[in-house]
Amino acid sequence: MEFLVIILSGVLFATAIYNLLQKQLLRIIIGTVLLSHGAHLMILTMGKLKRGQPPVLTEGVTQYTDPLPQALILTSIVISFGITSLILVLAYRTTQENKTDNMEQLRGNSNE
Amino acid sequence: MSNLAVLPIIIPLISAIILVFFNSKTNISRILTRAFSLIGLGVTGYIAWYVIENGSIILETGDWIAPYGIILVVDALSAILVLTTNIVAVACAFYAPHAGLGEKEKFYFYPFFFFLITGVSGAFITGDLFNLFVFFEVLLMASYALIVLGGDKIQFRESLKYLLINLFSSMLFVTAVAFLYGVVGTINMAQIAQRVAEVDQQGILTTIAMLLFFVFATKAALFPLYYWLPNSYVVPNPVVSALFGALLTKVGIYSIIRVFSLIFVHDIHLTHEFFIWIAGLSMIFGVVGALSTNNIKLIVAYNIIPAIGYIIMGIGIFNQEALSGSIYYLMQDMIVKAALFLLVGVIAYVAGTSDLRKMSGLIHHYPVLGWVLFAFAFVLAGIPPFSGFIGKLLLLEGAFADGEIVISIIALLTSLLILYSIIKIFIRGFWGDENAMKNLEKKSTKGLIAPIVFLLVTVVILGVGAEYFYPITDAIAAYLLDPQIYIDSVLKE
Amino acid sequence: MIYAVFAPLIFALFIPWISKFKNKVHTGIFVFLVPLVIFLYFVQFIGSDFSPIRETIQWIPSLGMNFDFYLDGLSLLFVLLISGIGALVVLYSIYYLSKSEKLGHFYVYLLMFMAAMLGVVLSDNVFVLYAFWELTSISSFLLIGYWNFKERSRYGALKSMMITVFGGLSLLGGFVLLTVITGTTSIQEMISQVDVILSSNYLPLIMAFILLGAFTKSAQFPFHIWLPDAMEAPTPVSAYLHSATMVKAGIFLVARFSPIFSTYEWFFITVSIVGIITLCWGSYMAVRQTDLKGILAFSTISQLGMIMAMLGFGTEAAVFAAIFHILNHATFKGSLFMIAGIIDHETGTRDIRKLGGLFTLMPISATLALFGTFSMAGVPFPFLNGFYSKELFFDSTLGLEGASWLAQAIPYLAVLGSIFTFVYSMYLFFGVFTGPKHLDQLPKKPHEAPIGMLISPIILVLGVILIGLFGDKLNQSFLLHAAQAVNSGVEYHEIYFWHGFITPFIMSLIVVGVGIILFLTMKKWTGVYNILPGRFSFNRVYDRIIEKLDSYSKGITNVYMTGSLKHYMAIILGTTIVVTFTYMYISNGFSISFDNLAEVTFIEVAVIVIIIIGAIATLFINNNIGAILVTGIVGYGVAIMFVLYRAPDLALTQLVVETISIALFLLCFYHLPKLRKREESTSSKLLNLFISGGFGLLIIMIGIAAHSTNLFDSISQYFVENSYKLGGGDNIVNVILVDMRGLDTLFEITVLGIAALAVFGLIKMKKKKEAE
C-alpha cells in the first residue's frame, strides 16, 4: 500500500517537474502546486499509513497513526500556501510589466 | 541562561513586528532600525562571548525535552555566525537610509530586513531538521519580498526565477527530511546523528545525504547549481544584494557544514571527496564568471561562488586545519561580501552606471571610495594581513597535509583571478584621466562609506588579530570533528 | 631592527599631512631622512666580527606567524642596498618630481615599498616574509601606475601585478608545503631540517613553487616581460624598485633557500638554465631597444639572469661572485637609471634614435654614464667594479660538476650573453653622447642637469670606482658574511685586479673583442631581430592570455548563463538525478521489502488513479477552466487521501487551503494570458520527459528504500503518551503544533505574515504606479 502512495508521490513529482520545465508561466505555477502535493504525501507515507486510529486520544484505543508527520505536513501546507499566493501575485505583476507570460522571453540579457 | 538562545531569533522578530506598525513613518523606522540592529549586535556579541567561555547553550523550547521538542543549540559555530550576521545587519541598517531606496522604504523594507535576519539566525541556531526548513522558509520569504521591492520589469523577471528555483529546492528539502524520518524515525539533528552512527550510515542514508546536499548546495550556490544567483543578486537595491550575498548562500553552506560534520560522517570517502571536486569546479567556474562581465555588480555576485568553493573545500578535506580554515573563511566572507555589494552600490551610484566600460578616473573625485575598493581587492584575494589570508592559509595547510595538491593549486590560481577581477574595477574605473567622464556630477556619498569602512575594519581586525580568533575556529573545528560532543550536549546522556 | 622595518610605514602615515606643505618644502626632503637613518643604523653592523642577530615580536603565535627578524650577512647586504639606494633615490626624486605632482601619494607608496622590502629580507618567518613579499608587489603596482592617466602605465601596472602576484601565490604554496613537512615556520629551522625536506616526496613541487615565486619577481625568462613595461613608472622608481631592490627579492629568496636545495640536482639544472637563458636573452634583446629605459630594463633582466645562474651553480666561487655582483649591479645600474632620467628630464625624450652628441652639452652626466656603462660591460679597468664580478662569474662557470652537458655549455653561453652586454653598453653610451646631434627633434633644449639631481648618480659612480679600487676592503667585513649565509663553505679570497692570462681573463678579452666588432657593425646585423624573436614574443603570449581570459570566460559563461529558467532547472535537476542515482548505486542504497505494509482497499486505489490522471492531465489541458478543474481534482484528491489515512486535521486544512487557492487561481487566471498548447520540439520534449521521469523515479526509489529500511522506532510514541499528560490535549497533532513544536508554528505564521505583507506591497505598488 505504502508503495502505491510512494509511486503516486513520484508521479506528482514527475508531472510537477514537467510543468516546471515549460515556458508558460501558468503551467509552471501548476507545477509548483503539484510539487507540494507530492512532497506532503511523501511525508505522510514515511510515518507509515493506517497503523491505528486517527491521532485524537480516545478511550480504549492504544494504537494511533503517527502524529508527527501530520504536524509537519500541516506546517508545510500553510507555508506552501503562502508561497503559492505570493507566486500568483508575482506572476501576475511580472506578466503585466514585461508584457509576456513566456519564461523564455524573460531571459534577459544575462551578462550585461 | 539557556533562554539566551532564543534572543537572536526573537529580537529581530519583535523588531520586524514593531516596524510593521511604523511603516509609514520613515524617519522613526530608520532610527528604530538602527537601534534594533545595535541591540541585536550587542546581544549576539554577548552570547558569542558567553558560549565561547562557557560552552554551548541548549534550549529545549517549551520545556519539551530533547529529542521530542524543538531544541535550539547555540554552540560556538552558531554563535559566531549569528554574531557575524548581526555585524552585517548593522552595516546594512546604517547604509539603508542613504541607499536611495526612496518609496521602497514604505513598502515594509525594514520589517522584511528584520524578518530576514530572524530566518538566518534561526537557521544557524536550530537543532531540529524540520525547524531548519521552517527557518529557511522565513528567510526565503523575506528574501522574496525584498527582491521584488521596487518592482521594475527586470526585478520581477529575476525574482520569479529566484523564487521558483528556491521553491523547488525547499520542497525537495521537506521530502528529504521525510525520507530521513522514514529511516531513522526522528528529526532532531542530534538524535539523527546518533542513530545514523549506530547503523554506520547504511547505503540509503548516504543517498538521502546526497539529496540533502543538493538542497543545501542549491541555496549555497555551488557548482553546478548556482545559475539562479548572479542575475538575481544584481537586480535589487545594493542593501538587499549585500544582505543576500552575505547571508543567504552562507546559510546553505552552514547547513552543509552542520549536516556533514554531525550526521553524515561515516562514509567520508564517498561523500566528502566529492565535495572537493565540487569545490574546485565552483572556484573555476565562479571566477570565470566574474571575469566574463563588465558589470561591476555582477563581478561581485560571481565572486560569491569561488568563496563558497573555498569553504566547501575545507569540508571536503575534513581535517582540523581545513575545517578551521573553512569556518574562518565563512565568517570573513560574510562581511566581505556584504561590504563589496555595498561598495559597488556606491560606485554604480556615483558613476551613474554599473558598466565598467563607461567608467574612468573616479579616484580623482572619490578617493576614499577608490582606496576602500583597492583594499577589498586584496581582502578578497586573501593577501595578508587581511582575514582572507588566514582562512586560505589554514585551508592550504589542511589540503597539503592530506596530499590534496590539485585543489590547492586551483585555489591559489583562483585567488589570482579573483584579484584580477576586482583590481580591474580599480584600474579601469578609478584610474585614468581626471576628466575622462564628462557628465559626472558630484554626488554626496554621505553615510554610505562609513558602514563599508566599518566592515573593512572588522575584516582587518579578523586578519591582524587572528591570534584571538584562530583559537576559536580551531576549537570549533575540533568540536565539529567529534560529533559526540554535540550529541551528548543535546541528548544529555 | 623591528623599528627599522616599521619606521617607513609609520612615517608614511604622516605623509598626507606633510604633503600639505609641499608648496613650501618638497615632501621628499622629510622622506629622505627615513632611509638615511635606517642606513646609518645598519652600517654599524659591518665588521669582521659580525654575527647574526634575531629579534622577535609575537603576532599570531598559534599559527606560527611572528615578526621574527633575523639579520645575517645576506640580509645586511640587502638592507644596506635598500636603505642606501633608497636614500639616494629619494634625494634624486626631490629634483625629478615637481611640486605640482601628487607627491603625497608617491612618497607613501615609496615608503610602503621600503618597509615591505626590508621586511622581505629580514623576516625569518615564511608567512611574514610572504606578507611583505606581496606588499612589495602592491606598492610596485601603485608606483608603476603613478601616472595612471597614461594607458601604458595602467597596462604595465596590471601586468607586473598579475605576474608577481602569481609568483607570490606560488611561493605561498611552497611555504605552506614546507611548513606542513617541517612543522616550523622559521627559515633557519627549515634549513636545519634539510634532510627531512630532501627526503620528502613533495621536494620537486616545493622547489617549483618557490622558484616560480623567485623567477617572476626577479624577471627571469620567460616571466621577464613585466619589467620593460614597468618602466612606465617615474624614473626614481625604476632605479629603485625595478633595478636595485625589488627585482632582487627573487635573487634573495633563491640565495636564502640555497642551503636547502643546493644538493638537489634539479635545483642546479633549473636555476642555472633559467639564469643563463635570461642572461643571453636579456642582453640580446637590449640591443634592439630604442627607449633608454627599455635598454636598461632588458639589461637589468640580463644581469639578474647572471646572478641567478651563479646561485644555481652554487659553488663557493659562484656564490661569492653572485653576492659581489648584487652590490656592483646596484651601483652602476642605479646611476645609469638616474642618468637616463636626467636625459629624459632635460631633453624631453628617451628615444635613443633622437638623441646623440650630448657629451658637450651634458658633460657631467656623460662622464658618469661612461663609468656606468663601461663597468656594466665588464671592460677590464681596475677602477670599474663590474669587471671584477664579471671575471669572477666567468671563473665560476668553469669546471662545474653535475649534469655534464649543461656544465659544458655554460661557459660558452656566459660569453655569448656577455658579448651582447658589451654591445648594448657601448650602444647606450655612444648612441646618446657621441655622434650627430638632432637638436631640432628634441622637445626641449638640452643642458646639464641641476646639481641636486646629479648628487645621487655621482655618489653611485663613486661607489663603482671605490669598489673597483678597494673592493677587498669590503670583502672580509661584509661580503664574506653575506656569501657564507648562502653557502657556508665560502672562504676568504682576496679580490684583486690582475690574475694573469687565465681562462676568465681570456673570456673577457673575447667579449671585448667580439663586442667591439659587433658594435661597429651593428647596423648590418640588426636584421636578425626580424627572424628571432621576429613576430613572436612573450608579451604577445601574456596579452593573448589576458585577452583570452576575458573572451573565453565570456564565452563559457554565456553558454550556461542563458537566463532561461528552463535551462537552470534542467541543469540542477539533471545533476541531482545523475549524482544521487550514482550514489545510490555505489553505496548499495536501494532495497525493497514487502513486509510491514498496510493493506490495499479499492477506494484508495481509485483515488490514487484519479489523482494520477489529474496530474497527467495538467500537461495536456489547454484551457484555463480545465486547468483549474484538474488542479482542483488533484488537490481535493489529496485531501481525500488524508481522510483515508486518518489525518482529519490535514484533510480539513487541505480542503480550506485548496479552496482559497482555487479562488486565487481564478483571479490570477483571469488576468494571465490563456493557456496555449505546449510548444516543444521533439528533442526538448524528450529531454523534459527524461528529466521529469528520472526525478520521479529517483523519488520513488528512495521512498521505497527508505520505507523498507525502517531502522528505528519513531519518536512519536512519546507524543501519544504525553499529549494529554503534559500537553493537556486530546488531539495529538494539535498539541504537537501548538506546544511541542510551537516554534515551527510561530514561524509558519511569520512566513504567512511576510507573504501577506509582500502581496500587499506588490499590489500597493501597482496602484501607486497606475496613479502616476
SS (H, E, C) B218-275: HHHCCCCCCCCHHHHHHCCCHHHHHHHHHHHHHHHHHHHHHHHHHCCCCCHHHHHHHH
CA dist C112 and C120 (Å) reads 12
Q: Are B226 and B161 in contact (CB under 8 A)?
A: no
- Minimal CA separation from B179 to chain C, in Å: 6
Nearest to A83 among B167, B177, B295 (CB): B167
Which amino acid belongs to residue C484?
Q
The whole-number pLDDT of residue A111 equals: 41
CB contact under 8 A, A72 and B174: yes
Stretch among B63-72, B76-85, C137-146, C488-497 having the lowest mean pLDDT: C488-497
Residues of B in Cβ contact (< 8 Å) with C173: 396, 408-409, 412
**Cβ separation of C709 and B142 shorter than 8 Å?**
no
Of residues C114, C33, C75, the one with CA closest to residue C485: C75
CA C315 vs CA B284, C303, C396, C455, C488: distances in Å: 43, 19, 8, 38, 10
Q: Say how far apart CA C136 and CA C119 lie, in whole Å.
A: 10
Specify the pLDDT at position C562.
78
The confidence band for B37, taking pLDDT boundaries of 50, 70 and 90, is: very high
* Cα C390 from Cα C371, distance rounded (Å): 15
Domain co-membership, C701 together with C595: yes
**pLDDT at residue B259 in the model:** 94
Least confident segment among B408-422, B469-483, C756-770: C756-770
pLDDT of residue C726: 87
- Is the alpha carbon torsion for C407, C411, C412, C414 positive or negative? positive
Measured in residues, chain C has a length of: 772
Which of residues C507, C541, C561 is at a domain's end? Answer: C561
Does one domain contain both C680 and C744?
no
What letter would DSSP give residue B6? G
Helices C385-397, C363-377: crossing angle, 10 deg rounding? 10
- Length of chain A counted residue by residue: 112
Q: Which residue type sits at B27?
A: N
Residue C65 belongs to what H/E stretch? strand C65-71
For residue A28, the distance in angstroms to the closest alpha carbon of chain C comes to 10
Do the domain assignments include residue A108?
no
Q: What percent of chain C has pLDDT over 70?
A: 99
**Lookup result for grid cell 567622464:** B437
Hey, how many other C-beta atoms are within 10 angstroms of the C-beta on C651?
Answer: 21
CA distance A71 to C123: 63
Tell me how far apart the alpha carbons of residues A8 and A21 are, in angstroms, rounded to a whole number. 20
Percent of chain C whose pLDDT exceeds 90? 40
Give strand pairing partners of C65. C60
Q: What is the pTM of this model?
A: 0.93
B-interface mutation test, from C101, C120, C723, C743, most B Cβ less than 10 A away:
C743
Strand ranges (E), B26-84? 57-60, 71-74
Same domain, yes or no: C717 and C707: no
Q: Which residue of C has its CA nearest to B157?
A: C563
Cβ pair B261, B315 in contact under 8 A: yes
Give the pLDDT confidence score for residue C535 in this predicted structure: 62
Shared-domain flag, residues C644 and C707: yes
CB-CB contact of C393 with C310 (8 Å): yes
State the nearest Cα–Cα gap between A58 and chain B, in angstroms: 22
DSSP single-letter state for residue B63: G
Contact criterion met (CB below 8 Å) for C575 and B223? no
ipTM value, please give it: 0.94
How many A/C residue pairs have CB atoms within 8 Å? 277
* Kind plus residue range of the DSSP H or E element containing C432: helix C404-433
* pLDDT of C601 strictly over 90: no
Quick check: C221 and C277 in contact, CB under 8 A? yes
Instruction: Pick the residue of C587, C718, C759 with the most B CBs within 10 A to test the interface with B by mutation.
Output: C587
Per the CB < 8 A criterion, the answer to whether C447 and C346 are in contact is: yes
Reading the block at residue C604, the C-alpha cell is 484508495
Q: Within C218-315, where are the H helices?
A: 226-229, 235-239, 249-261, 265-286, 292-313
**Total of domains in chain A:** 1
Question: Span C74-97, mean pLDDT?
Answer: 91
Q: Mean pLDDT across the stretch B461-474?
A: 92
Q: Which residues of B touch C714 (CB under 8 A)?
A: 181, 185-186
Contact present, B335 and B380 (Cβ < 8 Å): no
Average of pLDDT values for C509-519? 89
Mean pLDDT for the stretch of residues C176-182: 93
C569 and C663 assigned to the same domain: yes
Per-position DSSP letters for C387-429, written without gaps between them: HHHHHHHHHHHTT--SSHHHHHHHHHHHHHHHHHHHHHHHHHH
Distance CA C35, CA B81 (A): 45
Instruction: State the total domains in chain B.
Output: 1
CA distance readout (Å), C113 to A110, C138, C175: 42, 8, 22
Do the Cβ atoms of C321 and C310 come closer than 8 Å?
yes
Q: Residue C380: what pLDDT?
A: 86
Q: Which range, A84-93, B409-418, C143-152, C282-291, has the best average confidence (pLDDT)?
A: B409-418
What value does the mean pLDDT take over residues C278-287? 90
- The end-to-end CA distance of chain A, in Å, is 53
- pLDDT on residue A109: 54
Q: Are the beta carbons of B270 and C583 closer than 8 angstroms?
A: yes
CA nearest to C422, candidates C279, C578, C257: C279
pLDDT, one tens digit per residue, over A40-96 is 999 999 888 777 788 888 888 888 888 999 999 999 999 999 999 999 888 888 888
**C444 falls in which pLDDT band (50, 70, 90)?**
confident
Nearest to A69 by CA among A50, A87, A93: A50
With beta carbons under 8 A apart, name residues in chain C contacting B62.
739-740, 742-743
Set of chain A residues whose Cβ sits within 8 Å of the Cβ of B133:
76
Last residue of a domain, one of C561, C586, C618: C561
CB nearest to C713's CB, from B13, B185, B420: B185
* Domain that residue B20 falls in: 2-491
CA distance C187 to chain A (A): 47
All residues at 6 or more sequence positions from C651 whose CB lies less than 8 Å from its CB, including other chains: C639, C640, C642, C643
B131, B72 contact by CB (below 8 A):
no
- Tell me the residues of chain A between 77 and 106 that have a Cβ less than 8 Å away from chain B: 79, 82-83, 86-87, 90-91, 93-94, 97-98, 103, 106
On whether both C545 and C635 belong to a single domain, the answer is: no
Phi, psi dihedral angles at B59 (to 5 degrees): -120, 120
CA pair distance A51, C507, nearest whole angstrom: 100
Burial of C530 (0-12, 13-18, 19+ CB in 10 A): exposed
- Residue C683 and residue B111: Cα distance in Å, rounded? 47
Q: What is the crossing angle of helices C73-96 and C316-347, to 10°?
A: 10
B339 pLDDT tier (thresholds 50, 70, 90): very high
Residue-wise pLDDT tens digits, C687-722: 999 999 999 999 999 999 998 888 888 888 888 888
Q: Is C557–B415 a contact, with Cβ atoms under 8 angstroms apart?
A: no
List the domain range (segments joined by +) for residue C542.
528-561
Range among B229-233, B342-346, C489-493, C516-520 rated most confident: B342-346
CB contact under 8 Å between B156 and A69, yes or no, is no
Contact of B323 with B477, CB cutoff 8 Å: yes
Question: C762 and A89: CB-CB below 8 Å?
Answer: yes
Q: Comparing C-alpha atoms, which of C99, C76, C102, C85 is closest to residue C32? A: C85
Judge: A112–B295 Cβ closer than 8 Å, yes or no.
yes
Angle C700-C702-C705 from CA coordinates, rounded to 5°:
105
A64 within some domain: yes
Res C306: pLDDT: 93
A49 contacts chain B (CB < 8 A): no
**In angstroms, rounded to a whole number, what is the distance separating the alpha carbons of residues A45 and A4?**
10
Alpha helices in A21-66 (DSSP H): 25-46
Those residues whose C-beta lies under 8 Å from the C-beta of residue B285, and which sit 6 or more positions away, are B223, B224, B305, C556
Q: Is residue A56 part of a domain?
A: yes
For residue range B398-431, what is the model confidence (pLDDT) as tens digits? 999 998 999 999 999 999 999 999 999 999 988 9
Q: Are residues C568 and C694 in the same domain?
A: yes
Which residues lie below 8 Å from residue B439, measured CB to CB, with a gap of 6+? B352
Please state, as a whole number, how many other Cβ atoms lie within 10 Å of the Cβ of residue C425.
Answer: 29
> Is residue B469 a contact partner of residue B70, using CB atoms and an 8 Å limit?
no
Q: How many domains does chain C have?
A: 3
Half-sphere exposure (Cβ direction) of C309: Cα atoms closer than 13 Å: 32
Task: State the smallest CA–CA distance between residue C136 and chain B in angstroms.
Answer: 12
Q: In the listed set C537, C561, C585, which residue is the last one of a domain according to the structure?
A: C561
Question: Does residue A111 form part of some domain?
Answer: no
- C44 burial via Cβ count (<10 Å: 0-12, 13-18, 19+): exposed
The answer to whether residue C64 sits within a structural domain is no
Facing residue for B416 by CB, picked from C65, C165, C719: C165
As a whole number of angstroms, the distance between CA C568 and CA C337 comes to 58
For residue A110, the model assigns a pLDDT of 45
**A47 in reach of chain B (CB within 8 A):** yes
Contact at 8 Å (CB) between B281 and B410? no
Residue B6 has pLDDT above 50, yes or no: yes
Cell, residue C33: 631622512
Same domain flag for C666 and C722: no
CB contact under 8 A, C62 and B474: yes
Kindly determine whether residue A106 and residue B157, on different chains, have CB atoms separated by under 8 Å.
Answer: yes
Rg (CA), chain C: 38
Phi first, then psi: give them for residue B127, nearest 5 degrees: -115, 20
Of the candidates C572, C627, C704, C607, the residue with the CA atom closest to the CA atom of residue A15: C627
Q: Judge whether B96 and B227 are in contact, CB under 8 Å.
A: no
Q: Which domain holds residue A7?
A: 2-103
Give the domain CATH number at A39: 1.10.287.3510
Domain membership flag for residue C627: yes
Distance to chain A for B462, nearest Cα, Å: 34
